[in-house]
Structure 1
Amino acid sequence: MLNRRKTRPEPTKSGIVGLLAAAAGRSRHAALDDLAGLGLGIRIDQPGSLLRDYHIVSDYRGRPLLSAAVTAKGVQKPTSPAKQTHVTQRFYLQDAVFLAAVEGPRGLITTLESAVRQPAFPLALGRRSCVPAQPLVLGRRTGSLEDVLRAEPWQVGKAVRERWGRRNGNAAHVDLPATLDDPAGDEVRDDVPVSFAPTKRTFTTRRIRHTYLAAPTGLTPDPAQPPATGGHDPFALLGW
């Protein structure tokens, strides 16, 4: 039997909340109401590429594998029919750059900023070996999620920015895809964590809105090139 664990093109809310909870030193059984209640906006500055992680699981003692189901006493049930091998394919994003903005009470945001700068537990996205690169914190900002994500400079590396600039006349702005928490949004996602407890992982839903934001590139426009029209270039993030 093959088990596939897919990934989305941007971090989920459960991923961001999990990272913040780990930074703050919260256990898997800790309450998450305050973190789950934060507003979230994600901007995709660089989409990255897909990493396929192939696993084969078996019991070295030759015993049948246990199932995910548990008894009333919390003991895992054996697989039925008995299964000796379990194959999984897990997918992750690599070499991607995301800008995440969280919105909430000033005191909580200040506490979380300090926690991410000096985390209590190692931080990861997706799995423990997928550690996020620096910088993890750009600081606090004022304004709506959309305004903040629109104003923050493009976070890609120098080589990517310059290559894109040569093809686009060093345009002052680049259109980047973003998803924003929005009660009136047209998509529902089931990724708001209620509990991270290993035997009681539960989630609820939120509504999101998709958009494109014109972010500053940090480049000096080339006067020999016509001004950018502000239209969406679907190949911009690929450097074409």
Structure 2
Amino acid sequence: MTHVLLIRLAGPLQSWGTASRFAARRDSHSRPSKSAVIGMCAAALGLPRSMGLEMPKQPTETDEPGKVPAFGELARTVFGVRADHPGTPVRDYHTVGAGTYPLRPRDLITDHRRAAAVAASLDTATGDRFGHHTLTGWYGAPKKIAADPHSGVLISGELTRSALITERWYLADATFLVGLQHESDSFLETVRQALEHPRRLLWLGRKSCPPSGTLGLRVVPGDLDTAFRTHRLLPVAHDDTDPTRRPWAWFQVPPTERGATPVQDQPVSFDALRPEHTTRWETRRRITIDADAAQWKDIIL
């Protein structure tokens, strides 16, 4: 028999990237990815990013009770998500670096190139103020750090830096009901408790998007479809939506399932330098919530 851990993901902003680690345009998926949710659960459990994702053996009666689950147990859960409140896409036009910035005395002492660039200004300077000596196009994160051949001090290998312009997308005021299906209810309960008392900071896709309110809701018997049909829409503040509407839901399925589409978010490694993902398959359909579906109680919004 399988069980399902129900997780509430809600916050002012969410951003679920599936295309690339970093690019000039950082899109957000329309819903949480499996990789992001598994990573969040692993962070809540305090598991190191370097831990392998090898698939563990099936649990037996001789296994040590209460043992912290490996990444592999999380990775092999069957994933589903119901979009109770899909949210609104929000675009952030983001710029970093470049422009004109006042030079400091240490900039001239440690970097002979900057000193040469403003030599004329220094020769004609009067008064006791230093801040009016400027250099255009050097402000920003230093790149290609190396020792200066004259002073021996570590400096940037690039004297000028172009502005980094990015377009970042978020989901505003979205609320999702995520399900993780697994054979062991005790394993899922361990994860649920960790989400409510995490050992590391959690966020909704990016570090600028903290979750709000309750995360780990409950562990219920059955499969994902049953769990989504037998629970009402998650409540939100100032909710004026129809409680009987049919939300979209996505279910992880075998690749042979009719209508299955590929998604590149099955985690293989969370290594900070070389994260790796592979393909899983999913289907999408609307959910008709049962008339006697369970109500949500004691949820912190």
TM-score range, shorter chain: 0.7 to 0.9
Q: Does 1:22 align with 2:43?
A: yes
Letter in 1 for 2:167: Q
Structure 2 letter corresponding to 1:197 = D
Q: How far off its partner does 1:217 sit? A: 7.6
**CA offsets, 1:155-198, max 9 Å, x none?**
132632xx334xxxxx7x32110000011252100011111212
Q: Which of 171, 178, 197 is 2:249 aligned to?
A: 178
Alignment partner for residue 142 of structure 1, among 221, 225, 234?
Answer: 221
Q: How far apart, CA to CA, are the structure 1 residues paired with 2:223 and 2:199?
A: 29
TM-score by length of 1: 0.73
In structure 1, the partner of 2:174 is 96
Matched residue SS, 2:262: strand
Q: CA deviation at 1:17?
A: 0.7
Q: Structure 2: give runs of 5+ residues left out of the alignment.
A: 1-22, 53-70, 102-106, 108-137, 145-156, 294-301
Equivalenced residue count is: 198
Q: What is the CA–CA distance in structure 2 between the aligned matches of 1:121 and 1:155, rounded to whole Å?
A: 25
Structure 1 portions without partners, runs of 5+? 68-77, 166-170, 220-240
Using the alignment, how far apart are the partners of 1:21 and 1:85 within structure 2? 35
Counterpart CA distance in 1 for 2:292 and 2:91 is 34
TM-align CA RMSD: 2.7
1:30 and 1:58 map into 2 onto residues whose CA distance is 36
- What is the alpha-carbon distance in structure 1 between the residues aligned to residue 143 and residue 266 of structure 2? 28
- Identify the match of residue 206 of structure 1 among 280, 289, 293: 280
Q: CA deviation at 1:216?
A: 4.9
Residue 287 of structure 2 aligns to a residue whose secondary structure is strand
Q: Say whether the 8 Å CA contact 1:64–1:84 is kept in structure 2.
A: no
Q: 1:195 and 1:143, CA in 2 relative to 1: closer, same or farther beyond 3 A?
A: same
Partner of 2:150: none
Which residue does the alignment assign to 2:241? 164
Q: Which moved more, 1:46-55 or 1:110-119?
A: 46-55
Report the CA distance between 1:52 and its aligned residue.
Answer: 2.0
Aligned-pair CA distance for 1:27: 2.0
Whether the aligned pair in 2 keeps the contact of 1:181 and 1:207 (CA below 8 Å) is: yes
TM-aligned CA distance change 1:217 to 1:117, over 3 Å: farther
State which drifts further: 150-159 or 95-104.
Answer: 150-159
Determine the structure 2 residue equivalent to 1:229.
none
Alpha-carbon distance in structure 2 between the residues aligned to 1:158 and 1:56: 33
Select the structure of larger CA radius of gyration.
Answer: 2
Partner of 1:116: 195
The equivalent of 2:183 in structure 1 is 105
Distance 2:262 2:143 in 1: 33
TM-score (norm 2): 0.59
How far is 1:89 from its partner? 1.4
**What fraction of aligned residue pairs are identical, expressed as a percent?**
29
Relative to 1, partners in 2 of residues 1:57 and 1:120: Cα closer, same or farther, differing over 3 Å? Answer: same
